[in-house]
Amino acid sequence: MTRDPGLQPERTRLAWQRTGLACAGVGVLLLHGAAGAVGFAAAGVVLACAAGFAAVGARRRYGSAMDGRWAAVLAVLPGIAAVVALALE
């Protein structure tokens, strides 16, 4: 008996892609408005997280609990970088 996963894996992949695209947009805006090294560093962190979102979205499923932990780090890190850049600039 084969398991029919339905559309759930496809919806999950698309959600990660949308999140990565939104994160990339924030990174580009930070890069555009960067006035110093802190702004450029924060934009780099946010853009790297956007690439991470794309990588997580490219995987079919979470292979282990470690993937879930990395997804949590990716979800929090861009916001922290953006807040730090705005506070220090």
Residue at 65 is within a domain? yes
55 vs 68, residue with greater confidence: 55
Contact 35, 42 (CB under 8 A): no
Residue at 79 is within a domain? yes
Q: How many structural domains comprise the chain?
A: 1
Residue at 26 is within a domain? yes
Q: How far apart are CA 36 and CA 33, in angstroms?
A: 9
| Model confidence at 62: pLDDT above 60 | no
Residue at 3 is within a domain? no
Q: Which amino acid is at 32?
A: H
pTM above 0.75, yes or no: no
Across the chain, mean pLDDT equals: 79
pLDDT at 75: 79
Residue at 64 is within a domain? yes
- Say if residue 72 is exposed, middle or buried (CB neighbours under 10 Å; 0-12, 13-18, 19+): exposed
Domain with 73, as residue range(s), is 8-88
pLDDT at 24: 92
69 vs 79, residue with greater confidence: 79
- Say if residue 17 is exposed, middle or buried (CB neighbours under 10 Å; 0-12, 13-18, 19+): middle
**Angle, to 10 degrees, between the axis of helix 37-58 and the axis of helix 8-33?**
170
Residue at 32 is within a domain? yes
